[in-house]
């Protein structure tokens, strides 16, 4: 049994630091990418409050394909350039969207989603996946959330 508990503090930097430590411990020595993505999605869900979806899309060919996640069943294939995830994949840059209804081409997988954070996972300079977080709260994600998930992405890139 793994018993990682998010810190009782509301300090985001501390929460993300501990999330990173827990993720590194979970993937250490485990070569299976699916198992690692599944555990990391579960950790994000446990450590980051106010989410309705958290998980991975993997870059395969010219599209993103759904990976392990927590949340409602989601769109399976997203062409590069489409939606928030597709934008993160083609630009290799974090997309932080305060109001998904105002984002051109946003793909609604859960009607409850109001804001979204998508962070590319890079290996050898290439986008291999994106980490997608959705929230039912508008403007849920700030720069500290983006920095925290970017640090997580860098930490796990070699393990997924
Ligand atoms: N909203 C995303 C699609 C994925 S779901 O949110 C899980 C997008 O616009 O790319």
Q: What is the pLDDT at residue 149?
A: 98
Q: Is the CB of 130 under 6 A from ligand 1?
A: no
Q: Is the CB of 74 under 6 A from ligand 1?
A: yes
Domain annotation covers residue 5? no
Domain annotation covers residue 39? yes
Domain CATH number, residue 122:
3.30.450.40
With a cut of 70, say whether residue 1 has pLDDT above it: no
Domain annotation covers residue 18? yes
Listed residue (100, 101, 130) closest to 115, CA to CA:
100
SS3 helix, strand, coil % of the chain, rounded to 5? Answer: 40, 25, 35
Q: What is the pLDDT at residue 150?
A: 98
Find tokens 């395969």 and name the residue: 60
Q: Is the CB of 96 under 6 A from ligand 1?
A: no
- Residue 102 lies in domain: 12-159
Domain annotation covers residue 3? no
Considering only CA atoms, which residue is closest to atom 5 of ligand 1? 109
Q: Is the CB of 23 under 6 A from ligand 1?
A: no
Find tokens 């989603």 and name the residue: 113
Domain annotation covers residue 46? yes
Write the pLDDT tens digit of every residue in 94-144.
999 999 999 989 999 889 999 999 999 999 999 999 999 999 999 999 999
Mean pLDDT of 144-148: 98
Domain annotation covers residue 4? no
Domain annotation covers residue 105? yes
152 phi/psi in degrees, rounded to 5: -65, -45
Domain annotation covers residue 80? yes
Write the pLDDT tens digit of every residue in 33-87.
999 999 999 999 999 999 999 999 999 999 999 999 999 999 999 999 999 999 9
Q: Is the CB of 68 under 6 A from ligand 1?
A: no
CA distance 78 to 120: 14
Number of domain units in the chain = 1
Both structure tokens of 21: 């430590």
Q: Please give the distance, rounded to the nearest whole angstrom, from the Cα atom of residue 6 to the centre of ligand 1.
A: 26
Listed residue (133, 130, 118, 109) closest to 46, CA to CA:
133
- Mean pLDDT score of the chain, rounded to an integer? 95
Q: What is the pLDDT at residue 5?
A: 74
């Amino acid at each position: 049994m793994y018993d990682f508990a998010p810190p009782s503090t509301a300090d985001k930097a501390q929460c993300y630091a501990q999330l990173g430590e827990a993720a590194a411990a979970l993937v250490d020595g485990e070569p299976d990418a699916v198992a690692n993505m599944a555990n990391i999605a579960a950790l994000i869900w446990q450590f980051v409050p106010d989410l309705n979806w958290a998980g991975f899309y993997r870059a395969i060919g010219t599209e993103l394909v759904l990976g392990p996640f927590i949340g409602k069943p989601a769109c399976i294939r997203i062409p590069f350039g489409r939606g928030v995830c597709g934008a993160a994949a083609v630009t290799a840059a974090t997309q932080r969207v305060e109001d998904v209804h105002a984002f051109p081409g946003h793909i609604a997988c859960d009607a409850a989603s109001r804001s979204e954070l998508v962070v590319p996972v890079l290996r050898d300079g290439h986008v291999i996946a994106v980490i997608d977080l959705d929230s039912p709260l508008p403007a849920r994600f700030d720069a500290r959330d983006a920095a925290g998930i970017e640090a997580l992405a860098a930490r796990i890139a070699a393990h997924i």
